[in-house]
Amino acid sequence: MTDPSALMLREQFGTPEQQRESATFGMWIFLATEVMLFGALFTAFAVYRMKYPLGFDEGSADMNILLGSINTAVLIASSLTMALSIHAVAINKQVRGYLLLLATAALGLVFLTIKFVEYYQHYEQHKAPGISFVSDKPQAAEMQMFYVFYFVMTGFHAIHMTIGVCLVLVLALRTAAGSFRPAYHTPLEAVGLYWHFVDIVWVFLFAIFYISGLHG
């Protein structure tokens, strides 16, 4: 007989399953609003990309494809460790889950570090609109617009990553404290969904900013 308190069942829910579904449903609703947030930015990017294809291709050709590809691999690896940590807790291997959560947070920090190295490189090369922007290309003004989109969209993504790393670290501590077990680890699942969603956003950012101008 499972101790009811072990299931962390709140009084408004009839069953642990109903409680889990409500929490997951809430996280998906939140992610739907995030689709709207990033979706508006992607739509605006599409409009400007069609209006100024040359300048946007020039801007994209400036991107550091090596660092971008490494960051993509790092983020995909962090999604793997996130999924595996939930799996580990679900089969009652809390220590493994704890270590995998730490690995997830570490990979998230590696991603952010590489991202800021790139930002610094753009700044050094005078590709920071509003602060210092110099280009001898004929489409300099259009390139500047590309960089505005680049900094706003990857910046929004980096903020999401920072929040994600904090959430994962809190969950790692709670896992170490023994708060989660196979019967109850809904917070892990909810943050996992958020983490994977942020990964999906990066996949599209990588495509539109790094890949599209690679042939130039």
User: Which residues contribute to the site for other proteins (CB under 8 A)?
Assistant: 16-17, 20-21, 24-25, 28-29, 31-32, 35-36, 39-40, 42-43, 46-47, 49-51, 65, 69, 72-73, 76-77, 79-80, 82-84, 86-87, 90-91, 182-183, 192-193, 196-197, 199-200, 203-204, 206-208, 210-212, 214-215
Smallest distance, other proteins to C-beta of residue 130, A: 25
CA of residue 4 relative to chain centroid, distance = 35
Strands 127-128 and 132-133: antiparallel
Q: What is the Cα–Cα distance from 92 to 145, expressed in whole angstroms?
A: 51
The candidate with the shortest Cα–Cα distance to 98, out of 111, 108, 84, 110, is 84
Q: Based on CB atoms, which residue is closest to other proteins, 37 or 131?
A: 37
80 burial via Cβ count (<10 Å: 0-12, 13-18, 19+): middle
Q: Based on CB atoms, which residue is closest to other proteins, 147 or 209?
A: 209
Smallest distance, other proteins to C-beta of residue 133, A: 24
Q: Based on CB atoms, which residue is closest to other proteins, 110 or 128?
A: 110
